[in-house]
Chain A
Amino acid sequence: MALATVRGLEFAYPGAPAALRGVDLSIEDGEVVGLFGPSGSGKSTLLRALAGLVPHFHGGRFSGRVEIAGLDTRRVRPARLAGTVGTLFQDPEDQVVFTRVEAEVAFGLENVGTPPAEIPARALEALDAVGAAHLVDRPVAELSGGELQRVCLASVLALRPRLLLLDEPTSQLDPEGAEAAIELARSSGAAVIVSEQRPERVVEACDRLLFVEDGRAREDGLPDAWLPRETVLPDAEPRGATVCRLENVSFDYAERPVVSGADLTFGRGEIVVLVGPNGSGKTTLAKLAAGLLEPRAGRVVRAGRACYLSQDPGRYLVAERADEEAGLAVGGDLERARGALARLGLAGYEGRHPRDLSSGERERLALAAVLVAEPDLLVLDEPTRGVDPVRKDELVELLRAEAPGRATLVVTNDHVFAGAVADRVVSTAPQRERALA
């Protein structure tokens, strides 16, 4: 008997069009299934249905049947399914309950009734498995995005679920961390359904590939744009008139050195991509270049205006209308703002509230809000997090088209994107730090 079966599943969130349309699916014990599809296609909703959160938590119109280990999800609360099903959500920051790592990992174990004497050992074992045992006593607030993602994965693995649902589990991990996380999920013995926007990270580990589009799931292969691509990182010399130069720059966080003696130059017309492991100082370098941080030692010289787009920019929109948001950087010039929105495919969205937009639309709005200023130095921090390959190609095209007028610095762990967009790649990996210094 299959571990999970989905029959004729149709679902719509309250007041919204159908998110899932007639999905049929069967998952066997130990199977690894890759789940792909554009943003908003219904992947996360399907995972929520398998966890019982749809319809119990979200409400909405539900028809069809979902059974997990013989339990009908319409009759059983999601909390009852916990332990059999383990769910890792997209944004690790929004799923942390406690202030310390140990308690965070123990939380699920306590809820499912694990004997108290076993809880610390199970928590530590799960942390060890994800390479985060050293974080056990750390406050959650002090962890980097990648470290937090590992802790959240440990919290789920500690439950030893039979069905593991992973919603973009590698979005904040470097390639090595992502490979380790997927391998770990695979070797846990659980059936795994992993939703990903970076197919190259998971396809090889999957037994089956499922593509979701417009709420319908199919298994006849991935569209061309979704097939894993070869990554070739360019190795060019700096070129163009210097827009920004970091000279022997160092920076510490709470007396912990993050950047030591970095020398970097960004020339007009080139796109420089900064890659490197989690916690190696990429974001700090980007903020130093953009002028959001002041170096402890060394100096940063800039010619002209710099703009910086942070990670997860859709979370940090402040205006009541999309055009007002886009106009903030140009003193409220709505004409220029509307032009920038149109360039990002958001014509017709001018009067919409930014929080009413989908996550992909919010990110495009955030990008429009920095491009409108026509900066001499454009700094983008992880701009492809949660972005599907088709939209990623569009972003490459846009950045390449805009590149001649400015210097562009992109921080990313997405090597496919890096290979497609970069003129020059700089690594913050330890073996290359000497090259930076």
Chain B
Amino acid sequence: MRPAAAAALLAGLAAAALLATRLASVAAIAALLLLVCLRAPASRRRLYLVGALLSALAVVVLTPFVETIGSHPIWTGPTVPVLGQLDVTREELYNGLFQGLRLGAVALAFAAYALLLDHDRLLQAAGFARRSVLAVALATRLVPTLERDAAGLTESLRGRGVEVSGVLGRARLLTPLLAGSLERALNLAEAMEARGYGRAGATRALGPAWRSRDRAALAVAAALVVIGALWL
């Protein structure tokens, strides 16, 4: 399947998860996307899956404390400035789980996009908004690049007998990682300009022709959005 068609399918699933109103529907979409992500090599998918899980968990845990809905209290806590009285209701728990699953589904759709699609071919297929698609492709590469830089920094420290462990140990890597990313971004921008990026009259290498299953995937993606909005 062409990457553009696969990307449309993933976008359709993410949109359906955002539009659906039933917990079971969102959970099913998230489970489906998780299965898709599991096709990626274990070493590459771990970071994305942990990120998706932690984001979803954070929403599940925090939502009941910042929301004030429902009439079936489970726990009543102290009054906190700005937030008011803390309480947890059955409705808030349900909504936290629902919103957490939604976020998880969207994060997993992005993970599948980052892990499994050929971004180069996706960019080639972009007939319009090519700059925006290139920006997205470069941003997608940021995660593995940061991962590699973090591994290099860790190795550099281990090479001096300094073990990197715990939250504080890893936090030490954040500033050099950010500084390294900025340096790399500047160098890349310079190299792109030297290779003619931004010049008028650019062409595109020909990609493979659209096949019937690619068109079918687009139709399914559109259908997923409609089904998500009306029935899920």
Q: A231–B167 Cα gap in the complex (Å)?
A: 49
A316-B156 in contact given A79-B199, A94-B184, A113-B201 (Cβ < 8 Å) = yes
In the bound complex, residues from chain A placing their C-beta under 8 Å from that of B134 are 97
A400 to B152, CA, bound (A): 28
With both beta carbons as reference points, the residue of chain B lying nearest to A372 in the complex is identified as B160
In Å, the complex CA distance between A316 and B176 comes to 8
Task: Please tell me if the beta carbons of B193 and A57 are within 8 angstroms of each other in the complex.
Answer: yes
Interface members, chain B 145-188 (any A CB < 8 Å): 148-149, 152-153, 155-162, 172-173, 175-176, 179-180, 183-184, 187-188
The A106-139 residues at the B interface (CB cut-off 8 A) are 106-117, 119-120, 123
Kindly state whether residue A227 has any CB partner on chain B within 8 Å.
no
Which of B6-14, B63-71, B74-82, B202-210 is near enough to bind chain A?
B202-210
Whether A94 contacts B188 by the Cβ 8 Å rule is: yes
A310→B202 contact, CB < 8 A: no
Known: A307-B160, A315-B180. A119 touches B153 (CB 8 A): no
Which listed residue (A53, A116, A292, A373) contacts B205, Cβ 8 A?
A: A116
| Cross-chain contact of B120 among A82, A91, A99 (Cβ < 8 A) | A99
A329 touches B160 (CB 8 A): yes
Is B119 among interface residues, defined by CB-CB distance under 8 A? yes
Interface centre among B124, B137, B194 (most CB of A within 10 A): B194
Query: Is the pair A141, B195 in contact by a Cβ cutoff of 8 Å?
Result: no
Let me know if B160 and A373 touch, CB within 8 A. Answer: yes
Which chain A residues lie closer than 8 Å to B162 at the CB level? 328-329
Contacts of A313 in B (CB 8 A): 156
Query: Which residues of chain B have C-beta atoms less than 8 A from A305's C-beta?
Result: 161
Question: In the complex the two chains form, is B188's CB within 8 Å of A95's CB?
Answer: yes
Contacts of A317 in B (CB 8 A): 156, 176
Taken together as a complex, chains A and B put the C-alpha atoms of A370 and B124 apart, in Å, by 46
Min Cβ gap B43→A in Å is 9
- What chain A residues lie within 8 Å of B87 (beta carbons)? none
Instruction: Tell me if B204 and A116 are in contact (CB < 8 A).
Output: yes
* Inter-subunit contact A318/B157 (CB<8 Å): yes
The answer to whether residues A310 and B155 also contact, given A82-B199, A103-B124, A116-B205 and a CB cut-off of 8 A, is yes
Residue contact A114 to B203, C-beta cutoff 8 Å: yes
In contact, B152 and A316 (Cβ under 8 angstroms): yes
* CA–CA, A89 and B180, complex, Å: 17
With A316-B152, A355-B179 already in contact, the answer to whether A309 and B159 are too (CB < 8 A) is yes
Chain B, Cβ-Cβ closest to A379: B159
- Cβ of B199: which chain A residues have Cβ within 8 Å of it? 77, 79-80, 82, 111-113
Q: Nearest chain B CB to A425's CB is how many angstroms away?
A: 23
Q: Which of B126-150 contact A (CB under 8 A)?
A: 134, 137-138, 141, 144, 148-149
State the CA gap A116–B206 with chains docked (Å).
6
- Using a CB-CB cutoff of 8 Å, which residues 137-186 of chain A contact chain B? 141, 155-156, 159
Given A79-B198, A292-B158, 11 new contacts (CB under 8 A): A82-B195, A82-B199, A91-B187, A94-B184, A108-B196, A116-B204, A290-B159, A307-B159, A315-B149, A318-B175, A329-B162
29 A-B residue pairings within 8 Å (CB atoms):
A57-B193, A79-B196, A80-B196, A80-B199, A95-B191, A97-B134, A97-B195, A98-B123, A103-B124, A107-B195, A111-B198, A112-B199, A112-B202, A113-B203, A120-B205, A123-B205, A141-B144, A159-B195, A159-B196, A305-B161, A307-B160, A308-B158, A308-B160, A310-B155, A310-B156, A315-B180, A318-B156, A320-B175, A373-B160
Closest 10 CB pairs of A and B: A82-B196, A111-B196, A308-B159, A103-B120, A95-B191, A316-B156, A94-B187, A329-B160, A119-B205, A108-B195
